[in-house]
């Protein structure tokens, strides 16, 4: 298996942003598909994708496929599949199966059992619910497509965030939203409702050129295809670059920015960020050039009574219009009316994005004009 299809999971609605990141990182011919991006590559590309891509939620290797019209045929062909080319006999495996109505095999549980039995009896690998390696099978129009999850834990788990707020945004989503706002790492960023600091820390890491996967392990390290020497060279610490900007967060909750500071310390970017307690109405631009204000205010299920939210958004917009000439703004919210309550000169909203059981959109502005 020198080259095969690789699937990179994305928050639905941000596939094009992830494809742009994949292309920028030098991977071959990324293509957007619902829920992610596909590309061609081999195992080194798998390792590098897990290490360097900020927007991918997981990296799946498509390891093979075959037709199966009934369970007996699935059993026979699963037993003939060359599992040993990818899996190790001494590493436990978990199997997940998804089926659709177009397939004659529609019982996912029965299909899962057949594949588990094939792996256990033909390869000798143990089957366990908490296994470090997961094989995913999708049965679509009687075609069984087999993938292995090479990431393990979701890639939003960078390995340094312990303290999170009440409604945390995943780092992968934050990275893609920063990209959608045009952030490249060369300008300051301010989040006036920073919570546990996700936007601010992600921006600082981008500016410093730090790999998002530098502080964690991956499922691919348990596969037969893993080359520890090549990985050691690929994942060696990078010296990073000296950022030209600083990154700022504030929150009215003292506990939130205390947690954000601790998260920044673990991420190794504490020298690049600042967090302080400050109400939205009190925010002011930091010293230096203008940049990007990006904020994920309360919305939807996060707040039972929405009426106070209109006042909050209004106060945010007033502060930005009054004091942030030259800056751009990005606001994530579920409701167009909440975005419009800011009074900001908003561009048309981005596509709906799945987030925590809700559908949110990114609302952006051009550079804010000087108040007259």
**Domain residue spans of the chain:** 4-149, 171-212+239-364
**Confidence (pLDDT) at 159:** 83
As a whole number of angstroms, the distance between CA 38 and CA 29 comes to 8
Count CA atoms within 13 Å of residue 96 on its CB side.
Answer: 11
**Confidence (pLDDT) at 300:** 55
- Identify which of 337, 336, 330, 333 has the alpha carbon closest to the alpha carbon of residue 358: 333
Which regions of 132-231 does DSSP assign to beta strands (E)? 133-140, 143-149, 189-191
Q: Are the beta carbons of 14 and 54 closer than 8 angstroms?
A: no
Q: Which helix (H) or strand (E) holds 318?
A: helix 307-323
Task: Say if domain 4-149 classifies as CATH 3.20.20.140.
Answer: no
pTM: predicted TM-score of the whole model, two decimal places: 0.94
Architecture of domain 171-212+239-364: 3-Layer(aba) Sandwich (3.40)
- Identify which of 159, 160, 157, 181 has the alpha carbon closest to the alpha carbon of residue 170: 157
Give residues with Cβ within 8 angstroms of 265, minimum separation 6: none
SS3 179: helix
**Confidence (pLDDT) at 168:** 73
Q: Write out the two tokens for 180.
A: 């959608």
pLDDT in tens, 7-46: 999 999 999 999 999 999 999 999 999 999 999 999 999 9
**Confidence (pLDDT) at 256:** 80
- Identify which of 357, 314, 348 has the alpha carbon closest to the alpha carbon of residue 180: 348
**Confidence (pLDDT) at 355:** 87
**Confidence (pLDDT) at 133:** 98
Ranges of residues in the chain whose predicted pLDDT is under 70: 1, 162-167, 240, 300-305, 372
């Amino acid at each position: 298996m020198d080259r095969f299809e690789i699937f990179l999971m994305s928050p639905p609605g941000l596939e094009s942003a992830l494809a742009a990141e994949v292309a920028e990182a030098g991977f071959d011919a990324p293509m957007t598909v619902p829920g992610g991006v596909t590309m061609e590559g081999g195992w080194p590309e798998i390792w590098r994708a897990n290490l360097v891509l900020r927007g991918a939620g997981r990296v799946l290797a498509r390891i093979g496929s075959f037709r199966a019209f009934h369970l007996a045929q699935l059993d026979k062909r699963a037993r003939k599949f060359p599992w040993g080319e990818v899996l190790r006999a001494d590493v436990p495996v978990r199997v997940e199966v998804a089926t659709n109505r177009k397939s004659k095999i529609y019982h996912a549980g029965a299909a899962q059992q057949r594949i588990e039995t094939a792996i256990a009896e033909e390869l000798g690998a143990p089957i366990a619910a908490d296994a470090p390696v997961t094989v995913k099978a999708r049965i679509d129009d009687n075609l069984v497509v087999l993938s292995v999850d090479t990431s393990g834990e979701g890639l939003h788990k960078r390995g340094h965030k312990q303290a999170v707020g009440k409604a945390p945004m995943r780092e992968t989503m934050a990275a893609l939203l920063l990209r959608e706002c045009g952030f490249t790492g060369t300008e300051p960023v301010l989040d006036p409702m920073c919570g546990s600091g996700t936007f601010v820390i992600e921006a600082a890491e981008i500016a410093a050129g730090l790999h998002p996967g530098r502080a964690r392990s991956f499922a691919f390290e348990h596969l037969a295809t893993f080359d520890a020497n090549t990985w050691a060279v690929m994942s060696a610490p990078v010296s990073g670059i000296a950022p030209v900007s600083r990154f700022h967060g504030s929150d009215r909750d003292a506990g939130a920015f205390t947690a954000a500071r601790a998260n920044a310390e673990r991420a190794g970017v504490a020298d690049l960020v600042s967090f302080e307690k400050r109400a939205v109405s009190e925010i002011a631009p930091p010293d230096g050039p203008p940049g990007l204000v990006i904020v994920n205010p309360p919305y939807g299920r996060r707040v039972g009574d929405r009426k106070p939210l209109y006042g909050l958004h209004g106060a945010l917009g007033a502060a930005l219009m009054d004091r942030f000439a030259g800056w751009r703004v990005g606001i994530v919210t579920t409701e167009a009316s909440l975005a419009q309550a800011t009074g900001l000169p908003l561009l048309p909203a981005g596509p709906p994005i799945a987030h925590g059981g809700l559908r949110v959109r990114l609302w952006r502005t051009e550079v804010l004009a000087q108040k007259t």
